[in-house]
Structure 1
């Protein structure tokens, strides 16, 4: 977090903790730490211990107070739910009890319950060093009520699981090879970002790429029987590994803490990326687009070098009289670079000119320069789709960048309002004379609408953060976003199109499962529809009036389970969204 230049964030961090993390983690890990918060931890292995929670892109670490070791508490690949519990902890008193935020993380573990040691356990694939016993107790914490216990009685088990970092250069600087993120097979420690120039969830692949080949070959199990057997096999596989649910409780004694928001955002990003990485075509295209040969890793580009290169690209984008072709190629370059470089996404928000230029270009391309017939042209749709995809990339994993919020909330959200209104368009293509042009534009318009849904999803995530934030300065909440969109003449038809696409997924007579990119897009559409149903009465009435019967007869949870494979990380969160949508849209 230090390299982001987040003054507000650094002021909340313990100086000793920041120094410890900087010395004892690799640079790539340190730069992707999103938040650090002191909290009281309760789990199956520790009871009311005051520690620091350290949040990265892939997992939650815990470290003592003050820090001595860095331990993986839970990886996002095992998380099933993250929720904010409204209760008053009995081990706190006075104002601390009232201000406390209780975060419950539910995850799965493959270890039986009897041992009670699944939390803070060593994942043997993580490559962490063996534990070294430590007799040091957490005795110099800030003032905490006396009934908070230290480590539980079976302390020898705890010390066996907490990984004391072996030193190689000094007592405070461990071997960097043992301190990266856990090395887990799915996903890799540094997976490609959500979007790329080669492939993105907002640009659907052809149906032949997406769907599994269900043609029954000799000796093959018919598809309906096969789907039943696959469910039984998955259940047996889960049972054989003795998977069960466990909980990690974090009690943050602060009403202004954003740890819960960062956890939700990090988890969302993780399940999206890890789901996309299950798609062979997506992985192949990412590998093809890679500049490094197998086994050879290019050195990381410094933040200063990244800012310099972005400045050069910006000057080319903003030059007067740039042609549409040059603009398209430069935007492809920007999107691809941002896809691979998280630092570039942070730098983007620190320069208001490029973001404002993209919004203005989208306004002119999609709404200001339509053909005489009133229809979109192919060039307009291609450029507009690329702009929207580029903006969506810039939102990924930049929640802790203060420049993003500052830019979007400046002048009472003027730029954010323009972005919202610019991305909404009429989903019905206008009739043209040539049938081939109509078909081409319908396909391109569908791709644009997918991209617009993904960008609106990112903006709604920003709104959800503001909705839970007590700061009066952060007004960009979900309700505000939908109020800005409400006067748009095509809002109802745009939201109706997104709802129809959800219905179409489940009403497809074929028994095909969704591909990873299709699953991600379904997840984003469901988040959009749920926000409409929860925060806007006009949109709720529209969806209930026009889609209640379609959702009643076509959108079924058993069907959703068939469409969403159990091994997709995004499947369970999507099923929960579908269940919530059904409850709200069928409610009278």
Structure 2
């Protein structure tokens, strides 16, 4: 279960909120709650209310302070962007105003937005928030016209007449909000004309800046008027504003991490092979979870077998496969992994011992397969366990020496150190092509592991606690002298270019997720290491300039992949860095 984060560290638990959540959600839903934090909430139906923001694995939920009911704020599948706003909220004063953290969640609104709850996940919770059930009709349905009669959208000259009447109504009737007018106007074919006329006096009220400015502007009541924006066609864009009352709040980082995990998981779920690996039921009914006590007992038995002495390679491989499969199917296994003080060091030390990095130890199928499985298992244990308190303790124990050993061990380049024939295992002649395929698979899973570690360290980098030394800077300082660092990064950049230029066939869901992870790793290299940044821009500037572009992704990434938009955003930021253009916006400023 998540803990609320304030003052840069994990603080005391909110027992009242956790008791409320535990009583009103089923165990599997409760275990998937990642974090919670009190914030001032502003949305289409909520006006500056101090509430608990609860992050699950599928969306943002809101509950009162103290908790009484639970309602859905935004589902991760609908989110377009999560941004920090550099302003000062008018409704706060004193120290709270100066230390506030304004987060804007932009999402495409659904007709039933604000009316969902965790019941959709198969849980038994209290009734939806009264505010959501009593929301105005114009928030989720077509506005009624002429009393109770619902008419079809007019056409021809009648459409123009109706638009003109609506525009006059927008000026004369003060009690009707701009949002209502937009919703009525959207029922006509020429609704863009009236929207332009209504919005014309308010041009240039929102200014985006590329860099942070020294002073923070005052927030304006226009935030409420911007809560809903019309997009192309029938698509509607809305905003959820969260105001954390501490600059050391980590709700923004948890939001980014949770959203990233969701889009990766939901994209992978489109792959039938991944679905089978996770043992997802074909029936829409939720699979019944094991009781926690039974899961804990099975985990203790499996970990005991893994930690026994004189374990053979074949037995180790089979036990690791069992652990990996169990972690795929049950998030509780991943939490129990970090609560065991012995398993993480054991897997890392095994990886170091069997790694094929050493020049005097040639590549074989056994070492490559075992190292790949070890890295896959470690990567999976990092996935969606940021809210587990024991994870930070395990990773930082012994001044992070175990974590440093893991990163040193996994790093390798694409050059194979091939054995001579007499040293081949079981005297089998393994082809160079097969070894190359195994090596490529290993390098792919290493990209996934580095991605997870980078996400972890990016959160710590924004934490003022000096004890959180696992930062992005720490990673690159520790790997600076590694002989394979440049070769590894070169391979990652090479694969990004190849996947976008090799063929016009769409990427599979796992390939799309891997591209997302590689772009994240490369962008971190460009932003945090001068040597790697110089190498990438020197050796790949021409390729990125002429062969890599966002337009190439249209044929590569199907629009129904949840991760497609995020990959486009990352690739744009990557191109800006490589071509020495200004970086993509990360913080926006909202004008008065």
Q: What range describes the TM-score normalised by the shorter chain of this pair? A: 0.7 to 0.9
Contact 1:131 1:159 in 2 (8 A): no
- The aligned counterpart of 1:146 is none
Contact 1:519 1:564 in 2 (8 A): yes
Contact 1:339 1:393 in 2 (8 A): yes
Secondary structure of 2:91 counterpart: coil
Greater CA drift, 397-406 or 448-457: 397-406
Report the CA distance shift for 1:300/1:280 in structure 2 as closer, same or farther (over 3 A): closer
Using the TM superposition, give the Cα deviation of residue 301 of structure 1 relative to its aligned residue in structure 2, in angstroms: 2.6
Contact 2:490 2:536 in 1 (8 A): yes
Using the TM superposition, give the Cα deviation of residue 325 of structure 1 relative to its aligned residue in structure 2, in angstroms: 0.5
1:351 aligns with 2:344: no
Could you give the per-residue CA deviations for residues 133-185 of structure 1, whole angstroms, max 9, x where no partner exists?
95xxxxxxxxxxxxxxxx8xx995369999xxxxxxxxxxxxxxxxxxxxxxx
Once residues 301 and 445 of structure 1 are traced to their aligned partners in structure 2, the CA distance between those partners, rounded to angstroms, is 37
Once residues 248 and 387 of structure 2 are traced to their aligned partners in structure 1, the CA distance between those partners, rounded to angstroms, is 15
Secondary structure of 2:354 counterpart: helix
Between the two structures, name the one with larger relative contact order (CA 8 Å, sep ≥ 6): 2
- The aligned counterpart of 1:47 is 47
Could you give the per-residue CA deviations for residues 223-254 of structure 1, whole angstroms, max 9, x where no partner exists?
xxxxxxxxxxxxxxx955x1121110000102
- The aligned counterpart of 2:351 is 362
Contact 2:71 2:117 in 1 (8 A): no
Secondary structure of 2:107 counterpart: strand
Greater CA drift, 415-424 or 15-24: 15-24
Contact 2:507 2:557 in 1 (8 A): yes
- The aligned counterpart of 2:493 is 499
Could you give the per-residue CA deviations for residues 360-405 of structure 1, whole angstroms, max 9, x where no partner exists?
11111114777x6x53111100000000000001001110111111
Map of 1:467-506 to 2, 5 A cutoff? 467-506=461-500
Contact 2:61 2:71 in 1 (8 A): yes
Using the TM superposition, give the Cα deviation of residue 329 of structure 1 relative to its aligned residue in structure 2, in angstroms: 0.4
Greater CA drift, 257-266 or 119-128: 119-128
1:341 aligns with 2:341: no
Contact 1:261 1:465 in 2 (8 A): yes
Using the TM superposition, give the Cα deviation of residue 29 of structure 1 relative to its aligned residue in structure 2, in angstroms: 1.5
Match 2:393 to one of 406, 409, 418: 406
Once residues 125 and 61 of structure 1 are traced to their aligned partners in structure 2, the CA distance between those partners, rounded to angstroms, is 12
Report the CA distance shift for 1:466/1:396 in structure 2 as closer, same or farther (over 3 A): same
Report the CA distance shift for 1:353/1:130 in structure 2 as closer, same or farther (over 3 A): closer
Report the CA distance shift for 1:451/1:132 in structure 2 as closer, same or farther (over 3 A): closer
Once residues 344 and 298 of structure 2 are traced to their aligned partners in structure 1, the CA distance between those partners, rounded to angstroms, is 16
Secondary structure of 2:353 counterpart: helix
- The aligned counterpart of 2:35 is 35
1:157 aligns with 2:110: no
Report the CA distance shift for 1:9/1:484 in structure 2 as closer, same or farther (over 3 A): closer
Match 2:266 to one of 253, 267, 274: 274
Contact 1:81 1:105 in 2 (8 A): yes
Once residues 478 and 339 of structure 2 are traced to their aligned partners in structure 1, the CA distance between those partners, rounded to angstroms, is 24
Contact 2:2 2:36 in 1 (8 A): no
Give 5+ residue unaligned stretches, structure 1.
112-117, 135-150, 163-237
Calculate the TM-score normalised by the size of structure 2.
0.75
Match 2:534 to one of 523, 541, 558: 541
Once residues 41 and 514 of structure 1 are traced to their aligned partners in structure 2, the CA distance between those partners, rounded to angstroms, is 39
- The aligned counterpart of 2:567 is 574
Could you give the per-residue CA deviations for residues 196-242 of structure 1, whole angstroms, max 9, x where no partner exists?
xxxxxxxxxxxxxxxxxxxxxxxxxxxxxxxxxxxxxxxxxx955x1
1:244 aligns with 2:231: no
Using the TM superposition, give the Cα deviation of residue 123 of structure 1 relative to its aligned residue in structure 2, in angstroms: 8.9
Using the TM superposition, give the Cα deviation of residue 306 of structure 1 relative to its aligned residue in structure 2, in angstroms: 2.7
Secondary structure of 1:552 counterpart: helix
Using the TM superposition, give the Cα deviation of residue 430 of structure 1 relative to its aligned residue in structure 2, in angstroms: 3.1
Using the TM superposition, give the Cα deviation of residue 295 of structure 1 relative to its aligned residue in structure 2, in angstroms: 7.8
Report the CA distance shift for 1:12/1:132 in structure 2 as closer, same or farther (over 3 A): closer
Structure of larger gyration radius: 2
Using the TM superposition, give the Cα deviation of residue 461 of structure 1 relative to its aligned residue in structure 2, in angstroms: 0.5
Greater CA drift, 33-42 or 298-307: 298-307
Using the TM superposition, give the Cα deviation of residue 300 of structure 1 relative to its aligned residue in structure 2, in angstroms: 2.4
Report the CA distance shift for 1:535/1:157 in structure 2 as closer, same or farther (over 3 A): same
Contact 2:277 2:328 in 1 (8 A): no
- The aligned counterpart of 1:329 is 318
Using the TM superposition, give the Cα deviation of residue 333 of structure 1 relative to its aligned residue in structure 2, in angstroms: 0.6
Once residues 451 and 118 of structure 2 are traced to their aligned partners in structure 1, the CA distance between those partners, rounded to angstroms, is 37
Secondary structure of 2:33 counterpart: coil
- The aligned counterpart of 1:185 is none
Once residues 49 and 260 of structure 2 are traced to their aligned partners in structure 1, the CA distance between those partners, rounded to angstroms, is 28
Map of 1:446-465 to 2, 5 A cutoff? 446-465=440-459
Greater CA drift, 82-91 or 399-408: 82-91
Secondary structure of 1:363 counterpart: helix
- The aligned counterpart of 1:11 is 12
Secondary structure of 2:48 counterpart: strand
Secondary structure of 1:352 counterpart: coil
Contact 1:131 1:161 in 2 (8 A): no
Once residues 338 and 431 of structure 1 are traced to their aligned partners in structure 2, the CA distance between those partners, rounded to angstroms, is 34
Once residues 375 and 470 of structure 1 are traced to their aligned partners in structure 2, the CA distance between those partners, rounded to angstroms, is 44
- The aligned counterpart of 1:520 is 513
1:59 aligns with 2:62: no
Contact 2:24 2:126 in 1 (8 A): no
Once residues 363 and 304 of structure 1 are traced to their aligned partners in structure 2, the CA distance between those partners, rounded to angstroms, is 33
Could you give the per-residue CA deviations for residues 452-482 of structure 1, whole angstroms, max 9, x where no partner exists?
0000000001011101112111111111111
1:76 aligns with 2:76: yes
Could you give the per-residue CA deviations for residues 238-277 of structure 1, whole angstroms, max 9, x where no partner exists?
955x112111000010223221121111111100010011
Secondary structure of 2:135 counterpart: helix
Once residues 585 and 521 of structure 1 are traced to their aligned partners in structure 2, the CA distance between those partners, rounded to angstroms, is 20
1:387 aligns with 2:374: yes
Could you give the per-residue CA deviations for residues 327-374 of structure 1, whole angstroms, max 9, x where no partner exists?
10011011111111111111111223211111111111114777x6x5
Q: How many residues align?
A: 478
1:396 aligns with 2:396: no
Using the TM superposition, give the Cα deviation of residue 281 of structure 1 relative to its aligned residue in structure 2, in angstroms: 3.7
Once residues 319 and 492 of structure 1 are traced to their aligned partners in structure 2, the CA distance between those partners, rounded to angstroms, is 38
Once residues 156 and 307 of structure 1 are traced to their aligned partners in structure 2, the CA distance between those partners, rounded to angstroms, is 44
Using the TM superposition, give the Cα deviation of residue 85 of structure 1 relative to its aligned residue in structure 2, in angstroms: 2.0
Using the TM superposition, give the Cα deviation of residue 485 of structure 1 relative to its aligned residue in structure 2, in angstroms: 1.2
Match 1:557 to one of 541, 550, 561: 550
1:531 aligns with 2:531: no
Using the TM superposition, give the Cα deviation of residue 561 of structure 1 relative to its aligned residue in structure 2, in angstroms: 2.3
